[in-house]
A and B are shown apart, each in its own frame.
Chain A
Amino acid sequence: MIDALNAGIALLVLGLAIWTIVAPDTFAAIVGYVAYGLLLTLAWVALRGVDVALTEAAIGGGLTGVLLLRAAAKLRRTEAASNAERPGLPTRLAAAIVAGGVAVALAIVVLAPAGPAPTLVPEVAANIAATGVGNPITAVLLAFRAIDTLLEAIVLLFALIGVWSLAPDRVWGGRPGPRYRADPDGILAYLARLLPPIGIIVGIYIFWIGADLPGGKFQGATILAAMWLLAMMAGLADAPPVSRRRLRVALVAGPAVFIAVGAAGVATAGAFLAYPEGLAKPLILVIEWALLPSLALTLGLIMAGAPERPEDR
């Protein structure tokens, strides 16, 4: 029964992936991609990666989908011209051979009879008690491989700097995106009033529960960012000018606290990002609470895009 269910999910995922490639209309392809992301979430649950499933649903399907949909709406006028450059049959055939070769090679690796699978479970299980958190993924993200998480937060910040730096000179330091105007009595404005209180609680819950159960700051921050975007798109909130100092301090605060805790580890525990014995859990909490608002702001502003209008409009 479960096998049949898994096979069904795998087939649907594959079918939707093919749809996102062959669909003639870009908008339809991206809607397919959002559905694909949500179905992939089920595949992640089948693979016992509930934390990954939450991330995939929130970021892989959700945020990426919205980002691409908005870009597709703006690029619609260029679609016909681009489509005229569709490559001829020889190129398509060669591409099919290359793609098929890659897929077959990967499939052979998957099916090859392997020895015992490499695993770090025993190491994690032996050391998780020292971190004081119950969710092994959180223990890996914030204790065993904390440097990855630090660099990830910094990569997001760099992506935001990259997005901002694409603003034309005349609006540099201005507000991202258009000023959205929606019917104040319409369904969008209604949802933008109704959903954020619920979404904020769900976001903080997913963040808080991440210490012991599936969840965490990235998933929670994505939900908070989505609520902010909803309020922006309904015209209830406006994106802040990117030159505002308070905003920039808030963006940098999370990674800065993370680096400060890491540097303190050199003095107190003998290594960068090492926690002194018994203080691991409180320090992890400090880092997580500092990262959550910074991440939510960074994700929201990456979604809002490059500055498009001066500060006073």
Chain B
Amino acid sequence: MNAAALFGLCAAALVGVGVYGFIVNPQPLRKILAFNVVGSGVFLLFGAIARRGGALGWGGDPVPQALLITGIVVAFAATALAVTLLLRLADEADSVTLASDAPAPAGPDAARDA
């Protein structure tokens, strides 16, 4: 098996592992982490495609590889924004639950909704 197929399969498994963790883990921070595992799996899959596109003695297709660099940086930006949102939520609400039946925070809105 060549490297492109091997890491392509590895990437498929990574996406699966990440999706499972994203659904099952109740902690928002762990969901962000799982989302990053999904992302890196997608990147690796694209990398395997770039490797298959190698020609003329070049190891890989530079166009997808350049897009991957852009993708990794944008994924970092999204993660940083998500983490900061989460930290602000923890500051304000003292809990970071995503459960739909969580006790509503005390406030004028909560009183009206109840």
Contact = CB atoms under 8 A, between A and B. Distances in A.
A and B held together in a complex: yes
A141 B54 CA distance: 18
A71 B34 CA distance: 15
Interface residues of A, number: 95
Contact of A78 (B3, B67, B88, B96): B96
B3 A305 contact: no
Contact of A152 (B48, B60, B70): B70
A114 B34 CA distance: 30
B16 A99 contact: yes
Nearest to B34: A21
A67 B80 contact: yes
Given A75-B90, A156-B77, A303-B80, A111 B9 contact: yes
Nearest to B4: A47
Given A10-B7, A67-B83, A141-B66, A17 B18 contact: yes
A20 B14 CA distance: 11
Interface in A108-124: 109-111, 114, 117-122, 124
Interface residues of B, number: 84
A86 B21 CA distance: 11
Contact of A56 (B30, B34, B72): B72
Given A20-B33, A75-B29, A117 B52 contact: yes
Contacts, number: 289
A96 interface: yes
Chain A contact surface mostly: helix
B110 interface: no
A257 B59 CA distance: 33
Contacts of B37: 17, 20-21, 33, 36
Interface in B31-47: 32-34, 36-37, 40-41, 43-45, 47
Given A55-B69, A109-B12, 5 more contacts: A17-B14, A21-B34, A47-B50, A64-B75, A121-B58
Interface of A: 3, 6-7, 10, 13-14, 17-18, 20-22, 26, 29-30, 33, 36-37, 40, 43-44, 46-49, 51-52, 55-56, 59-60, 63-64, 67-68, 71-72, 74-75, 78-79, 81-87, 91-92, 95-96, 98-100, 102-104, 106-107, 109-111, 114, 117-122, 124-125, 136-137, 139-141, 144-145, 148-149, 152, 155-156, 158-159, 162-163, 166, 168, 216, 218, 302-303, 305-306
